[in-house]
Amino acid sequence: MDIAPVDLFAKPGRWASYPSIADRIDASGDCWEWTGNHDINGYGRLSYKLAHRLVYEALCGPVPKGLELDHLCRNPGCVNPDHLEPVTHAENMRRGYGFKSASRNKLAMTHCKRGHAFTDANTYRFTNGARRCRTCHRDRERVERVKRKALSWT
């Protein structure tokens, strides 16, 4: 959309009960970032309502029954209607960070979160497909041993 959100939400009527909604949108980039409250998953919230849904419905109309909004930009804090698409829940899970997607993403990782390579020599492999970095595991065990030893002296 070529119109700034401030212009869109300055109109009286539907937005009269939300006077500060334009103040909570940062449209300086491609994504319109919600600067108000966010939930634990990063989605913008205005009271109990999802901010991206609120903005989408105001600018594009209601979300069709049985569909939910998918963030095409993969940014849960974005409220730009051009980055939102109504899709089924199953499609949203296929595209997003559902259980299977997360599993595929973890298997594609070549290094652990501390930067150690997942090589055969440096990786514990479990029967369920999970992996653990041996170097990180060894470091954690070393710290725990020191803690236990310190506690036994007191």
Q: Residue 43: its pLDDT value, please? A: 93
Q: Are 71 and 84 in contact (CB under 8 A)?
A: yes
Residue 91 has which token pair? 């499609």
How many beta carbons lie within 10 A of that of residue 140, not counting itself? 12
pLDDT of residue 17: 53
Which pLDDT does position 28 carry in this prediction? Answer: 87
The residue whose two tokens read 């653990």 is 132
CATH 3.90.75 fits 5-95, yes or no: yes
- Confirm if 12 and 29 have CB atoms less than 8 A apart: no
pTM of the model: 0.56
Q: What is the pLDDT of residue 1?
A: 53
Q: What is the pLDDT of residue 154?
A: 60
Q: In which residue ranges of the chain is pLDDT below 50? A: 11
Query: Which tens digits make up the pLDDT trace of 119-146?
Result: 999 999 988 778 899 999 999 999 999 9
pLDDT of residue 59: 87
Sequence ranges of the chain with CATH classification 3.90.75: 5-95
